[in-house]
Amino acid sequence: MATPDSLTLFTGLGLSENKARETLKNAALSTQLREAATQAQRTLGSAIDKATGTLLYGLASRLRDTRRLSFLVSYIANKKIHTELQLSAALEYVRSHPLDPIDTEDFEQECGVGVVVTPEQIEEAVEATINRHRSQLLVERYRFNMGLLMGEARAALRWADGKMIKHEVDMQVLHLLGPKMEADLEKKPKAAKARLEETDRKTAKVVENGENYKTPGYVTTPHTMDLLKQHLEITGGQVRTRFPPEPNGILHIGHAKAINFNFGYAKANNGICFLRFDDTNPEKEEAKFFTAIHDMVTWLGYTPYKVTYASDYFDQLYAWAVELIRRGQAYVCHQKVEELKGHNSLPSPWRERPIEESLLLFEAMRKGKFAEGEATLRMKLVMEDGKMDPVAYRVKYTPHHRTGDKWCIYPTYDYTHCLCDSIEHITHSLCTKEFQARRSSYFWLCNALDVYCPVQWEYGRLNLHYAVVSKRKILQLVAAGAVRDWDDPRLFTLTALRRRGFPPEAINNFCARVGVTVAQTTMEPHLLEACVRDVLNDTAPRAMAVLEPLQVAITNFPAPKPLDIQVPNFPADETKGFHQVPFASTIFIERTDFKEESEPGYKRLAMGQPVGLRHTGYVIELQRVVKGSSGCVECLEVTCRRADSGEKPKAFIHWVSQPLVCEIRLYERLFQHKNPEDPVEVPGGFLSDLNPASLQVVEGALVDCSVALAKPFDKFQFERLGYFSVDPDSQQGQLIFNRTVTLKEDPGKV
């Protein structure tokens, strides 16, 4: 058991107490980290700051050659290595130079030691980059691909701080273009878009046309050039991407970014994008997930070039696994699952077993001669994060939804992903940042088998505050009765957002505004809602609805029968047509639009204070308040006059007449805190953070008859209330509406 001094030492590096205790459970890691911290303290002669502590932890957890520990710690403690970028370069250097002695001059040059990137240099590099694209920037303004500017500036200053570069890009672009205008948020003009796509195509070709090997981190072999040549003969230089979801859950807002990036990048470069289901874990896969995923990709407006499955390639993947064993690059192992967990598990005692023995045992695995967990096939490599010999195949006796019981061994993601990309001749394997730790295995495996190797690019995940998106936690929410299912409109799954009424264009626009960065992005929900309003303002026709009805009798109604009122579908653009609603002597208004006695600042209906009725051309004036036995107001008696026959009223309110009765569901945030999964912010766990007011069901609401034929997912703006969408629970004669978002106006505005 660790001493209190060890715990204090590790927390002094900036580790949380939980992380420190977890580290202490790993003897090898804690020993290496203790040595690193002790040496750093001796060098510094004082406490270790958090930035240095983070680098020391990264060093201890990723360094395999312990002989180099003291050497690298001295560089960190003396601030010669002071960024994660430099540390990664240093670890790669010592890995690729195992022999003594280390050439310190070469090491320092490769790791950027002593390189100081000044703010002036960053300013000059960004200025040069912007000048190269100045004419295009002035045409496209904020619709220009700013990531291109970031990438070129980073290429010019390898060791510069990425945040400083981004800040400088933002500042110089703002200085050149000025603040964003309304036109900057509109869709890109076709001519400008065509020019951008041509630029993107040329950029893509730099990597695509036989030059994959020039990508940073790409590993070449004597066969690389021949394989790239064969690849180009097959693809003709066409850009190929893929969206590869696991069919074990519903897609969420983060997947929308991945869909947009993969399909969008291919489209922008006149390429193709596959939808490939990574169906390698039959225990967790269900048919409904395959259907839902395909539906959501289509809903977002993308059509896959081809729908494929990892299981399409099971025979080829198995044959390659046999070949990997023959080449001495894989072996059958009998360590238990719990022994393989973490990044510092004990080396396998079966790592050097004879090739023929592994071939026989792997065949025995395929024939079902091992129980689940008794044997795995492992690859002989060490990944960037220090994980050693990842598993390629494991035993599972669950029938597969497509191959039935043909197989009882299934490949893992680490084995399957890159090989399926190779089979489909993918040019750009676009992955979220957590897969950066698997990049080395991606390149290693393709090269170990002498097959074509695509390029892997990583980008940051997209998350939202006030949300959870993990499959396991959503299932807990369903089991607890907090939400109905995966498509409950309070969730941020794509099916839930569709049900709530979010247009796919709004989600795509949101992803475009967030952009593609390496850093993880966590956004506020109101930014997504702003994109929703932008789209619905132009696409959702207006209607009138009353949530809390109050009956109003017009005692001097000007006609013997109801009048037909023409209401514009879009008041700002009457060319988009009108719909007709009846206006009779009995109408209904919102109870909140009436007060028995007016108050300072109150502008709606009260005794002595008339209001206008929207779209009618009439003003009503209160004459009498009718109350029931309980003292509650039941009805108002009013008189009406033409709006142009007297003083203009202070306000115009919405109303309904001869309405339809409907149910309206009002949604608020599901969680009360920004980060419901953060144990510091929510010590009781995310289930304790539920907002009791996240759903309010309004029964007996009234809506005008113009929506009578509405179908599920049809969208409307209910005037003065917000945007609403027809819920699939609706039945004949009983419409149900979900409030998508409120209006832009302050809801407290009178």
Catalytic site includes residue 471: yes
What is the arithmetic mean of pLDDT over 31-39? 92
The reported pLDDT for the residue numbered 152 is: 85
Please say whether the beta carbons of 517 and 261 come within 8 A. no
Q: Higher confidence at residue 206 or residue 739?
A: 739
Strands 391-395 and 409-411: antiparallel
The model's pLDDT over 76-89, given as tens digits with 9 standing for 90+, comes to: 999 999 888 888 88
The model's pLDDT over 195-250, given as tens digits with 9 standing for 90+, comes to: 434 434 433 443 444 566 666 666 777 888 889 899 999 999 899 999 999 998 88
DSSP 102: P
Catalytic site includes residue 246: yes
The model's pLDDT over 1-20, given as tens digits with 9 standing for 90+, comes to: 444 488 888 988 888 887 78
The reported pLDDT for the residue numbered 365 is: 97
Distances (CA, A) of 474 to 26, 283, 331, 471, 588: 31, 18, 38, 5, 40
Asked if the model's pLDDT at residue 178 lies above 90, the reply is no
Query: Percentage of residues in the chain with pLDDT exceeding 90?
Result: 62
Catalytic site includes residue 190: no
Please tell me which residue in 124, 152, 197, 246 is annotated as part of the active site.
Answer: 246
The reported pLDDT for the residue numbered 340 is: 79
The reported pLDDT for the residue numbered 107 is: 92
What is the arithmetic mean of pLDDT over 103-116? 91
Query: Percentage of residues in the chain with pLDDT exceeding 70?
Result: 92
Please tell me which residue in 80, 154, 471, 669 is annotated as part of the active site.
Answer: 471
Cα R_g (the chain), whole angstroms: 32
Global pTM reads 0.70
pLDDT bin (cut points 50, 70, 90) of residue 184 is low
The backbone torsions φ and ψ at residue 93, rounded to the nearest 5 degrees and listed phi first, read: -65, -50
Cα–Cα distance for residue pair 82/89, rounded to 1 Å: 12
The candidate with the shortest Cα–Cα distance to 537, out of 717, 710, 666, is 717
Q: Is residue 97 exposed (0-12), middle (13-18) or buried (19+ Cβ within 10 Å)?
A: middle
Asked if the model's pLDDT at residue 432 lies above 60, the reply is yes
Identify the residue whose tokens are 């065509």: 194
Q: Higher confidence at residue 446 or residue 65?
A: 446
How far is C-alpha 724 from the chain's CA centre? 24
The reported pLDDT for the residue numbered 278 is: 95
pLDDT bin (cut points 50, 70, 90) of residue 165 is confident
Cα–Cα distance for residue pair 465/675, rounded to 1 Å: 6
pLDDT bin (cut points 50, 70, 90) of residue 343 is low
The candidate with the shortest Cα–Cα distance to 330, out of 421, 450, 220, 445, is 445
Asked if the model's pLDDT at residue 737 lies above 60, the reply is yes
The candidate with the shortest Cα–Cα distance to 620, out of 605, 601, 603, 602, is 605
Least confident of 122-136, 354-368, 675-689: 122-136
Cα–Cα distance for residue pair 472/474, rounded to 1 Å: 6
Q: Higher confidence at residue 393 or residue 382?
A: 393
pLDDT bin (cut points 50, 70, 90) of residue 344 is low
Please tell me which residue in 19, 21, 201, 461 is annotated as part of the active site.
Answer: 461
Percentages helix, strand, coil for the chain (3-state, rounded to 5) are 40, 20, 40
Cα–Cα distance for residue pair 576/435, rounded to 1 Å: 48
Least confident of 28-32, 241-245, 280-284, 457-461: 457-461
Least confident of 203-217, 296-310, 353-367: 203-217
Cα–Cα distance for residue pair 448/429, rounded to 1 Å: 18
Cα–Cα distance for residue pair 300/261, rounded to 1 Å: 12
Asked if the model's pLDDT at residue 624 lies above 90, the reply is yes
End-to-end CA distance of the chain: 66
Q: Which amino acid is at 309?
A: Y
pLDDT bin (cut points 50, 70, 90) of residue 193 is very low
pLDDT bin (cut points 50, 70, 90) of residue 318 is very high
Cα–Cα distance for residue pair 60/241, rounded to 1 Å: 36
Q: Higher confidence at residue 697 or residue 92?
A: 697
Least confident of 140-154, 385-399, 477-491: 140-154
The reported pLDDT for the residue numbered 179 is: 66
Identify the residue whose tokens are 């064993």: 325
The reported pLDDT for the residue numbered 577 is: 95
- Give the list of residues 6+ apart from residue 164 with CB closer than 8 angstroms, or none: 119, 122
User: CA torsion, points 304, 310, 316, 318, in degrees to nearest 10?
Assistant: 170
Please say whether the beta carbons of 218 and 212 come within 8 A. yes
Classified as helix, coil or strand, 388 is strand
- Tokens matching residue 351: 């790592």
Asked if the model's pLDDT at residue 182 lies above 70, the reply is no
